[in-house]
Chain A
């Protein structure tokens, strides 16, 4: 089986970020970057599938600046076999990402594309579904369990009201949710081995015109400061004053 795992370099999801004072972007001064956590879960799942079936090949791909090599090396350290870095200085929107990944998928012919359900920087939750649509493949988003079953995957996905299990014939696309797995701690030998794994750099193939453009970044309106109450009695009085009880 061949698994393609697209990953995105994002600002540290646990850092507090602010807009630039002129509103033209996000202030990333002093902020670290990491693999989008949902994508790291996708890498981990692909590597676990490889560990169960040694004939599996795991290819990771990232689109963006050369800096994304750092995240691709991390994915290789988790256990991916090889990496592709599609280099572009353009800020791609989700349709643009889906277009580049569709071209790559047509070239590589993976059986499965596993990727994060959303990136923690733009919170779009679009690229996977758009890619599946472009390829005409079945999809399962918000996956919390993935099991190969003959020529198909059985994917349990979280829903608004519980969960459901879908059967997706290959080739198919799965986007990962938080509870699919817990990515492993990367030990030093993995990091050393990752340095010599193949990483292929190439230009963007499609360069699709953007469908959307972000024109301004601003801080959200601050909530007026609240107050502490001393007791349950005071709390209930305050709730009654506000008319919510």
Chain B
């Protein structure tokens, strides 16, 4: 009998992944590593591991392998943290794995983007169990209702990696991968202070998150966790504003699921205009203050 274990880092992550879990159409349990698992997302059991801090991948994957028995499918929302741990879990379980699922053909056939989103591959799973990371934007929000059986579970894992330090920047802005509005900047932002005041300022005015290109992050203009693209974060906001972003294939791979893409660039031939819904040929240093002034924010 097929059954899915949806692995979530916290209740919000569980809610994001539940859209996929419902679309897969198999009975499922939800496991929240931290916080209390919600009981209204359609899971049979709402399992809470009750961790204060998520351990490094070796210990966490080992702990998860102890509760993986009986499941044919194990899935989590795609993110750096889930890719780190779930691929290791797949190794421990000798499982098949499909990364970045964007469509379900059947419980054993999935679609996923490859080569920076240039190609969509259809992948057939030939082994059990299968481990999946999924892009939530493709599956919508879950129907809420019902009541799962709430249970606590203990993850008894061990590992030898030791965490020496951790920094979480984040701040007051919404999570980049969950924000309704994302404002991104590229290398023309010059330096960290300019990036923060221009891109961060517009993001705050719109209640959104700030994002950045690889070039901006590599040159120290923006912190690494803001990188959007093939090897950074995948975003899917209602509104994506790209300012001073040329629009490389690698960057576009991270923003394709955005509902509306707005490009502001002074180069009329920038490739971003080929993929933007609305394009404004203008210097971002003129356009962004004007937008804020006219919005009165």
Chain A residues within CB distance 8 Å of chain B: 11, 13-14, 16-19, 26, 38, 93-95, 98, 117-118, 120-134, 137-142, 144, 154, 158-169, 172, 177-179, 209-220, 223-224, 226-229, 231-233, 235-236, 238-239, 242, 244-245
Q: Is residue B116 within 8 Å, beta carbon to beta carbon, of the partner chain?
A: yes
Is B279's CB under 8 angstroms from A214's CB?
Answer: no
Is A211's CB under 8 angstroms from B80's CB?
Answer: no
Is B118's CB under 8 angstroms from A220's CB?
Answer: yes
Closest to B233 in A: A160
Of the residues B79, B87, B165, B259, contact of A129 by C-beta under 8 Å = B87
Shortest CB–CB separation between residue A129 and chain B, in angstroms? 4
**Interface of chain A, main secondary structure:** mixed
Contacts of A127 in B (CB 8 A): 87
Q: A95-B94, A178-B214, A232-B290 are in contact. Are A130 and B87 (CB under 8 A)?
A: yes
Is B114's CB under 8 angstroms from A122's CB?
Answer: yes
Closest to A243 in B: B238
Hey, what's the 0/1 contact readout for B153-165 against A, CB within 8 Å counting as 1? 0000001111111
Q: A17-B119, A217-B121 are in contact. Are A239 and B239 (CB under 8 A)?
A: yes
Shortest CB–CB separation between residue A88 and chain B, in angstroms? 18
Shortest CB–CB separation between residue B203 and chain A, in angstroms? 14
Contacts of A123 in B (CB 8 A): 99-100, 113-116, 230
Is A130's CB under 8 angstroms from B90's CB?
Answer: yes
Q: Which of B111-162 contact A (CB under 8 A)?
A: 113-127, 130, 159-162
The CA of A226 and the CA of B271, in the complex, are separated in Å by 12
Is A219's CB under 8 angstroms from B119's CB?
Answer: yes
Is B114's CB under 8 angstroms from A226's CB?
Answer: no
Closest to A19 in B: B119
Q: A139-B57, A158-B225, A166-B56 are in contact. Are A212 and B118 (CB under 8 A)?
A: no
Contacts of B58 in A (CB 8 A): 132, 137-139
Of the residues A134, A144, A236, contact of B91 by C-beta under 8 Å = A134
Chain B residues within CB distance 8 Å of chain A: 56-58, 61, 79-81, 83-85, 87-92, 94-100, 109, 113-127, 130, 159-170, 177, 181, 206, 214, 217-218, 223-225, 230-231, 233, 238-239, 249-250, 256, 259-262, 273, 275-282, 287, 290-291, 294-295
Sorted from nearest, which 8 A-B pairs have the closest CB atoms?
A133-B91, A130-B91, A129-B87, A211-B96, A138-B161, A216-B122, A129-B88, A226-B277
4 more A-B contacts (CB under 8 A) besides A213-B126, A228-B279? A132-B91, A142-B80, A178-B231, A220-B120
Q: A120-B115, A138-B58, A227-B279 are in contact. Are A95 and B161 (CB under 8 A)?
A: no
Is B294's CB under 8 angstroms from A211's CB?
Answer: no
The CA of A229 and the CA of B263, in the complex, are separated in Å by 10
Contacts of A138 in B (CB 8 A): 56, 58, 159-161
Is B97's CB under 8 angstroms from A214's CB?
Answer: no
Q: A165-B164, A229-B279 are in contact. Are A118 and B225 (CB under 8 A)?
A: no
Is B118's CB under 8 angstroms from A229's CB?
Answer: no
Contacts of B261 in A (CB 8 A): 223, 226
Among A93, A139, A219, A227: residue with most chain B CB under 10 A: A139
Contacts of B79 in A (CB 8 A): 160
**Interface of chain B, main secondary structure:** mixed
Q: A132-B58, A142-B80 are in contact. Are A126 and B169 (CB under 8 A)?
A: no
Contacts of B126 in A (CB 8 A): 209-213
Q: A123-B99, A178-B231, A211-B96 are in contact. Are A165 and B119 (CB under 8 A)?
A: no
Of the residues A120, A131, A158, A177, contact of B116 by C-beta under 8 Å = A120
Contacts of A154 in B (CB 8 A): 164
Of the residues B88, B125, B163, B224, contact of A133 by C-beta under 8 Å = B88
Closest to A228 in B: B279
The CA of A138 and the CA of B230, in the complex, are separated in Å by 26
Q: A26-B119, A131-B91, A139-B57 are in contact. Are A166 and B163 (CB under 8 A)?
A: yes
Contacts A/B (CB < 8 Å), 10 sampled: A19-B119, A95-B96, A124-B99, A126-B83, A141-B84, A162-B169, A164-B167, A211-B127, A219-B119, A238-B278
Of the residues B81, B89, B115, B280, contact of A232 by C-beta under 8 Å = B280
The CA of A106 and the CA of B97, in the complex, are separated in Å by 24
Closest to A231 in B: B280
Is A242's CB under 8 angstroms from B164's CB?
Answer: no
Shortest CB–CB separation between residue B174 and chain A, in angstroms? 13
Shortest CB–CB separation between residue A231 and chain B, in angstroms? 8
Closest to B87 in A: A129
